[in-house]
Amino acid sequence: MELSESVQRGLQALADASSFDQSSFQALIDVSHRSLLSSHGDPAVLDHPELKQIDQILLKQVHTAATTFILEAVKQNADKSTISSSLEELTFSAEKIEIFYSIYQKHKKELEHLLASIGRRPAQINDISWRLQYHMKNGQVDKVNEPFYSISLNSEKDGCSEDMNFTCTMEQLQDLVGKLKDAAKSVEKASQM
């Protein structure tokens, strides 16, 4: 698996027996899996009793590296030999590899469902509606006399329709239209290659 240098450094620190013994290693791997599956991103996820004695900066680095590795393994549908060889390259002991893989297997299906739910396509815009409005006055100034546009984008993703509403001035709308024209030209050029 291709991993960035910071992820590799974090995983090497996790493999270091002087920083993480078997019980703190197991706790961190379990916490990493659970934090990925948590829908609300609990900030106290690293407050596990087994992890209290570990430096907080190191703990956060290692947690980030572990979650990155876990997501990469799930994304690539990595088997035991792939995970083992990747972790062996990062100086993990056989016991730690076994602990990692058993926890990984326990949560793999849930993580696959989580990644599948994120999807691969952005929402598709189906319709747009707009209305020119005029701002006559506000609480601070008696006369404002500014036109503005109310825009409503109707999009669809995975069969669910959603409206996104916003307002903008004429200059902002012209800027948006210019950027959309640039994007359309880029797509047209890319399709001709």
Query: How many Cβ atoms sit within 10 Å of the Cβ of residue 112?
Result: 13
Q: Are 110 and 161 in the same domain?
A: no
Q: What pLDDT sits at residue 55?
A: 86
Query: Is residue 49 domain-resident?
Result: yes
56 shares a domain with 36:
yes
Is residue 182 domain-resident? no
Does 179 fall in a domain?
no
Tokens 């503005």 belong to which residue? 148
The whole-number average pLDDT for the span 42-48 is 71
Is the pLDDT at 87 greater than 80? The verdict is: yes
In this structure, the answer to whether residues 99 and 12 fall within a common structural domain is yes
Which domain range does residue 43 map to?
Answer: 5-117
Choosing from 117, 137, 153, the residue where a domain stops is 117
Closest C-alpha to 14, from 77, 73, 68, 71: 68
If asked whether residues 70 and 13 sit together in one domain, one would say yes
Higher-pLDDT residue of 20, 157: 20
99/133 same-domain check: no
Where is mean pLDDT largest: 121-130, 142-151, 181-190? 181-190
pLDDT range class, residue 92, cuts 50, 70, 90: very high
Average pLDDT rounded to a whole number, residues 82-86: 93
Judge whether residue 115 has pLDDT over 70. yes
Rounded alpha-carbon distances, angstroms, from residue 111 to 7, 20, 27, 115:
19, 25, 18, 6
In a domain, 70, yes or no: yes
In degrees, rounded to 5, the angle at the alpha carbon of residue 81 between the alpha carbons of residues 106 and 107 is 10
Please tell me the pTM assigned to this model. 0.63
Number of domains in the chain: 2
- Please calculate the CA angle 57-59-60 and round it to the nearest 5 degrees: 65
**Whether residue 143 sits in one domain with residue 62:** no
pLDDT at 43 over 70: no
Q: Is residue 37 part of a domain?
A: yes
Instruction: For residue 176, tell me if it sits in a domain.
Output: no
